[in-house]
Amino acid sequence: MPEPRPASPSQADAPPEVVARLQATTEDDLAARQVIDASCRGPVLFFFVSAVVWLLIGSLLGALASFKMHTPAFLSGWAPVTFGRIRPAHLNSMIYGWASMAGLGAILWMQARLSRVPLPWGRALIGVGVVWNIIVMVGILAILTGGLTSVEWLEMPDWVAYSLSVPFLLLAVISVVMFRERRVRFVYVSQWYLFGSVFWFPLLYLTTNLLIHGEAAIGIVQSSTNWWFAHNVLGLWLTPVGLAAIYYLIPKVIGRPIHSYYLSLLGFWSLALFYNWAGMHHLIGGPLPLWVVTVSTVASMMMLIPVTAVAINHHFTMIGHFGKLRYSPTLRFIVFGGISYTLVSVQGALQALRIVNETSHFTHYTVGHAHLGVYAFYTMSMYGVIYYVVPRLVGREWPSARLIRIHFWGSGLGILLYWVGLTAGGWLQGRMMNGGLVPFLDIVAFTKPFLVSRTVAASFLTVGHVAFAISMWRMLARREGEGLGPTLLATPTREAGGRREPPRWRFWSARPRTSASAGGGEA
Amino acid sequence: MYGVYALIFGSWAFFVITSVWALLWAIDRRQFDTPHDAAWSILDEDERDGRLNDWFPGERPH
């Protein structure tokens, strides 16, 4: 348990020389944050804005797919909007559009802050973002026009897959460059997670595509490769970024360190050790060697170790600070994401047990679980990142507290309704299918109210997304909001003459810190 | 096909080696020796006193 340590320059009983030293350190910190945020402004905002556009596109496609689940005749005469194309278009736009673009922006900003160096190659990164958007857009159009593959989560044509590997590798290189130039002694746990994501995912993505599109994996090996990939997209790409954000932002917002640093490291290294093995539980009951599935089930249960470590750490860090959820939008989204991580991980581990899986498999239960992970955990965490980062990049407050609240409640209630409806409906569906007493079409009809609840939930989510997009647009385009205040600690007061010009600080000649802190430098 | 296998197994070898190297590097640099300092290291001097550092626009708590 970290002990409190006096560090505020405002402490009345500190000797004058200590106060002066701390004030100088604070000035250093403010200057460093300003320089780093200024270097991130162009590329990170580009990635975040792209992410929001993809979020709207993905929401539209998802709502349409959900509606067609209970009203299949709707727009059924036009091939591009049939369910078989709309659904993979929704999934790919959310994963490679929204989730990846938001994640890339979060990674770049956090890597710069944690290394305490400005972000290099800003224009090149924007170029990478433009190329990424074009590739994903062409891939989505290929899906809608019938050029999709039959491999779930990899429906975009193979040339798209190979093209996307290049930006991922570039991101890894940039992370290494910043790390080598870092001005801090410690590699904070968030940075371990970020390095995990930027190295694991290119490897995962490239390997899978080479095996599947290169026809090295055929038959059941293709299925196992496919589900190894699909499971690890969440665990080795999205999860590390989401957890990095939670570990970074909770302490930043509440002004206290995490409860146990050792537990956080245990969580990272056990995730690295166990998650990679867990994907085969998607094929329980399939024609795989029994030991392959059993190893995967064991690894899934072992995942309870990192999950418990993260859950304990987050909960104990927040104890005594839950009241702050009332005031901080970032904290609301981040804590919602953290709680959902525990929930989805425990649910996932239980789902890997044969006794549970034989009921939940091939039902809507699995869809509810996937959305709990990608949306309730990861997406809510990324909302928290964006609400924290964007004001610091543009030097203004968000324009409307009401829009943020609409976004939070729309997203929060929407995903809860979505998950509860599909989990309950899917479980009952599985019980009936296994029972063999109810005709299949009657089971389909039975699930209809749950599918309608899913569409209602999608409407809640879409309302939240539209409020979020309006907030972002007003923030960036209309220059609303005060340039002073709580989220802009580095900004001087109005009386002092508005925003301060960032000091000159080149990436390759950053001046050494003069910090008197025992931490050896802050990020 | 052999090229594909070489690339796949080569990249996996790279992955395993770099993971082990990262762990050894961290131990060698004493990254795990002082968790208290590491936990505090992300907080700047003006962020350490337990005050809220983020809130809804125009709604600063008192």
B41, A329: Cβ pair inside 8 Å?
no
The residue of chain A with its CA nearest to that of B51 is: A255
B4, A329: Cβ pair inside 8 Å?
no
A81: Cβ contacts below 8 Å, ≥ 6 apart = A64, A75, A144
Q: Helix (H, G, I), strand (E, B), or coil: what is residue A10?
A: coil
B40 touches chain A (CB under 8 A): yes
A216 touches chain B (CB under 8 A): yes
pLDDT at res. A15: 62
Q: Return d(Cα A259, Cα A80) in angstroms, integer.
A: 51
Give the pTM: 0.88
Q: Residue B61 is nearest to which of A252, A255, A327, comparing CB atoms?
A: A327
Q: Return d(Cα A433, Cα A50) in angstroms, integer.
A: 42
Structure tokens at A268: 């990272």
Q: Return d(Cα B38, Cα B50) in angstroms, integer.
A: 17
Structure tokens at A93: 């736009």
B3 touches chain A (CB under 8 A): no
Q: Is A207:B11 a contact under the CB 8 Å cutoff?
A: yes
B28 touches chain A (CB under 8 A): no
Q: How far is CA A413 from CA A416, A419, A420, A456, A474, in A?
A: 5, 10, 11, 11, 24
DSSP at A303:
T
pLDDT at res. A381: 97
A8, B35: Cβ pair inside 8 Å?
no
Chain B hits for A324, CB-CB cut-off 8 Å, are 52
DSSP letter string, A67-125: HHHH-TTTTTTSGGGSHHHHHHHHHHIIIIIIIHHHHHHHHHHHHHHHHTSPPP-HHHH
Average pLDDT by stretches of 10, chain A with 523 residues? 41 57 67 86 95 96 95 91 95 96 95 91 91 94 93 88 83 87 88 91 86 81 90 93 97 93 93 89 90 94 95 94 92 97 96 94 95 97 96 89 96 97 97 94 96 96 97 82 51 39 41 36 41
A44 touches chain B (CB under 8 A): no
A336: Cβ contacts below 8 Å, ≥ 6 apart = A376, A380, A408, A412
Q: Return d(Cα A112, Cα A118) in angstroms, integer.
A: 6
Chain A hits for B44, CB-CB cut-off 8 Å, are 26, 29-30, 33, 522
Task: Compute chain B's Rg from CA coordinates.
Answer: 22
Structure tokens at A7: 């560090």
Closest CA to A241 of A333, A379, A90: A379
pLDDT at res. A239: 96
Closest CA to A51 of A102, A124, A116, A104: A102
Structure tokens at A491: 């900004």
Q: Return d(Cα A155, Cα A159) in angstroms, integer.
A: 11
Q: Residue A210 is nearest to which of B4, B18, B43, comparing CB atoms?
A: B4
Q: Return d(Cα A238, Cα A51) in angstroms, integer.
A: 14
Core vs surface per residue A193-202: b (16+ CB within 10 A) or e? bbbbbbbbbb
A356: Cβ contacts below 8 Å, ≥ 6 apart = A350
B52, A327: Cβ pair inside 8 Å?
yes
Cα B40–B46–B47 angle (5° rounding)? 50
A368: Cβ contacts below 8 Å, ≥ 6 apart = A418, A419, A420, A421, A422, A423, A426
Most B-contacting residue of A184, A385, A484, A522 (CB-CB within 10 A), to test interface: A522
B31, A399: Cβ pair inside 8 Å?
no
A518, B37: Cβ pair inside 8 Å?
yes
Q: Return d(Cα A224, Cα A407) in angstroms, integer.
A: 38
pLDDT at res. A14: 55
Q: Return d(Cα A108, Cα A103) in angstroms, integer.
A: 9
Q: How far is CA A465 from CA A64, A468, A488, B10, in A?
A: 15, 5, 25, 42
B33 touches chain A (CB under 8 A): no
Q: Is A242:B40 a contact under the CB 8 Å cutoff?
A: no
Q: Is A228:A292 a contact under the CB 8 Å cutoff?
A: no
Q: Return d(Cα A278, Cα A199) in angstroms, integer.
A: 19
Q: Is A415:A59 a contact under the CB 8 Å cutoff?
A: no
The residue of chain A with its CA nearest to that of B53 is: A253
pLDDT at res. A505: 42
Q: Return d(Cα A252, Cα A29) in angstroms, integer.
A: 14
Q: Return d(Cα A222, Cα A208) in angstroms, integer.
A: 9
Residue A91 one-letter amino acid: L
B45, A258: Cβ pair inside 8 Å?
no
B38 touches chain A (CB under 8 A): yes
A401, B59: Cβ pair inside 8 Å?
yes
The continuous run of DSSP H or E covering A179 comes out as: helix A158-180
Q: Return d(Cα A162, Cα A154) in angstroms, integer.
A: 11
Note down pLDDT in tens along chain B; length 62 residues: 677 778 777 877 887 888 888 889 999 988 888 888 888 988 887 787 778 888 888 777 76
pLDDT at res. A502: 43
The residue of chain B with its CA nearest to that of A23 is: B45
ipTM of the complex: 0.89
A481 touches chain B (CB under 8 A): yes
Q: Between A401-435 and A329-351, two packed helices, what is the crossing angle to 10 degrees?
A: 10
Region of B13 (left: φ > 0; alpha: ψ -120 to 50; beta: rest) is alpha
Place of tokens 């991922």: A168
Q: Return d(Cα A104, Cα A97) in angstroms, integer.
A: 11
SS (H, E, C) A152-165: CCCCCCHHHHHHHH
Extended beta strands in A297-420, E state:
none
The residue of chain A with its CA nearest to that of B40 is: A257
Structure tokens at A292: 């392959």
Q: Give how far A385 is from chain B: nearest CA, Å.
A: 12
Q: Return d(Cα A361, Cα A359) in angstroms, integer.
A: 6
Q: Is A75:A39 a contact under the CB 8 Å cutoff?
A: no
Most B-contacting residue of A34, A207, A262, A385 (CB-CB within 10 A), to test interface: A207
Cα B1 to chain centroid distance, Å, stands at 37
A331, B54: Cβ pair inside 8 Å?
yes
